[in-house]
Amino acid sequence: MGEDIMKKRFAFFCLTVIAAVAFFFSGQAPVHAEKTYTIGTDVTFPPFVYANSNNKYVGIDMELIRSIAKEEGFKIKIKPLGFNAAVQSVSSGQTDGVIAGMTITDERKQTFDFSNPYYESGIVMAVSPKSGIKGLQDLKGKKVAVKTGTQGATYANSIKKKYGFKVVTFDDSDNVYNDVKTGNSAACFDDSAVLNYGVKTGLGLKVVTKPTDIGQYGFAVKKGQNQELLKMFNKGLAKLKKNGKYNQIIKKYTGAAATSSTKKSNNKKDAESNTFIGLIKQNRQAIGSGILETLKLTVLSIIFATIFGVLIGLLGVIPNKFAQGVSTVIIYIFRGLPLLVLALFIYNGIPSLTGSKIPAFVAGIITLTLNEGAYTAAFVKGGIEAVDSGQMEAARSLGLPFRKAMSKIVLPQGIKIMVPSFINQFIITLKDTSILSIIGILELTQTGKIIIARNLQGFKVWTIVAVIYLLLITILTLLSKWVERRIND
């Protein structure tokens, strides 16, 4: 009897779970449930998007999208990617929309659906105050710096033949401006609102041309998709303009009070916060998060790459032509592909084909696993082949099967040969995590870019980042050497 009661209770529990699951997937969600949209952006583009002293993303674009989301009853998740990567992530379906001071053009309209314009800006040229350059006519035979995928880059390329200059491109604004300040480039082209804001807040450059190639900024979604989000943006924008909130946001970040207070604040804190110690104290939380993310990527990638590499390496030494061929092809492909290309292919390319999103962190782990695993497979295969072939022949002649001969005789000798290569690969994996900033993972390098966009202390911030990497590599090397000694003992 007790057993029957238990069965009935279990059956009732199962029916309850099935009913709950069916209700969940039936789409009958509560009327007031708010949908969350992932929005890509470029967090190195003040006054439109940047991280403040508390490492919160602020600026015209951020306040607009947050205010519109509040007005229209939806939620947003900001994805800091950089302009070029943000645009690509929308095209591949990884993010639902992009707001990053993106100029509406006929060419972009073929790929994106744009909102109503929310800002108007032109392109200007900035130079070092000591350069003596007064206009476009002084650029002949010189280099100018631009940011990849921006309207400033498009404009510069459209006039380079006329004025006889060469164009060099960078992925973020800080490198563009620094290239001019260091004298590597004679000038840079960027949006007038961005450069004027930078000049007023201590960028160290001078604008020497009037705005031209006037364009309008818009919020964008992939063509034909997320039309509901686009409609809500337009509706919310209209409400903000009507109730005065829009003008408040624009004035907050472009008015005289905004730039003067920022400059005054910077001057007041320069003596303390712009020192190495001051920068570390001010950004310790962001730096700590960046280090943690880098370590997570490194440890997980080392584990998966080792497993993947050992399996593929062993596949290459078993007495089977097909297996050896598969091993050779995998090693050839993933060692031959540049890590940057592989990361973008996995994060943006595969979702474009499958229609399924891949989280940036997962895409980063897969990228490092395939790339580092291919190198691991190569030295595993090489380490085993370095063992005298007579060892295997002798073991087989004594009646040992291939599997036992490999695990008991060959592998123990091969592992000692492989250990130094393993240690080296661990260090390479740690360094390679920096490349994953291209897909928006907030590891140490991406954290450095975001900090620099706010305080423009490029040299000092990159010095801090470099020292942290060296410390991490030193610790990893010492740990690996200890493991090597234990194995050899």
What pLDDT, on the 0 to 100 scale, is given for residue 46?
84
pLDDT in tens, 146-175: 988 888 999 999 999 999 999 999 887 888
Residue 30 has pLDDT above 50, yes or no: no
Res. 186 pLDDT band, cuts 50 70 90: very high
Residues contacting 198, CB < 8 A, separation 6+: 46, 177, 205, 456
What pLDDT, on the 0 to 100 scale, is given for residue 416?
66
Number of Cα atoms under 13 Å in the Cβ half of residue 66: 13
Q: Classify residue 107 by burial, with Cβ atoms within 10 Å: 0-12, 13-18, 19+.
A: exposed
In this structure, are residues 245 and 67 in contact, taking their beta carbons and an 8 Å threshold?
A: yes
**CB-CB neighbours of 59 under 10 Å:** 24
Res. 399 pLDDT band, cuts 50 70 90: low
Q: What global pTM score does this model have?
A: 0.71
In this structure, are residues 94 and 348 in contact, taking their beta carbons and an 8 Å threshold?
A: yes
pLDDT in tens, 92-137: 888 999 998 898 989 899 999 999 999 998 999 999 998 889 999 9
Res. 204 pLDDT band, cuts 50 70 90: confident
Res. 428 pLDDT band, cuts 50 70 90: confident
Distance CA 103, CA 150 (A): 8
What pLDDT, on the 0 to 100 scale, is given for residue 389?
65
Q: What is the DSSP string of 255-302?
A: SHHHHHHHHHHHHHHHHHHTSHHHHHHHTHHHHHHHHHHHHHHHHHHH
pLDDT in tens, 268-296: 455 456 677 877 887 888 888 899 999 99
Res. 10 pLDDT band, cuts 50 70 90: very low
What pLDDT, on the 0 to 100 scale, is given for residue 26?
42
| Of 386, 385, 382, residue with least CA distance to 374 | 382
Q: Of the ranges 61-75, 166-180, 189-203, 395-409, which is most confident?
A: 61-75
pLDDT in tens, 58-100: 899 999 999 999 999 999 999 888 788 888 889 888 899 999 8
What pLDDT, on the 0 to 100 scale, is given for residue 439?
84
Percent of the chain with pLDDT over 90: 40
Alpha-carbon torsion angle 227, 105, 148, 152, nearest 10:
-140
Three-state DSSP at 476 gives helix
How remote is the C-alpha of 243 from its chain's centroid?
Answer: 36
Output the CA–CA distances (angstroms, integers) from residue 82 to 44, 95, 133, 310, in the order listed. Answer: 7, 13, 30, 36
What pLDDT, on the 0 to 100 scale, is given for residue 29?
41
Average pLDDT over residues 467-473: 91
> Angle at CA 192, nearest 5°, toward 452 and 440?
35
Average pLDDT over residues 179-190: 93
Q: Of the ranges 203-207, 260-264, 404-408, which is most confident?
A: 203-207
**CB-CB neighbours of 441 under 10 Å:** 28
Res. 359 pLDDT band, cuts 50 70 90: confident
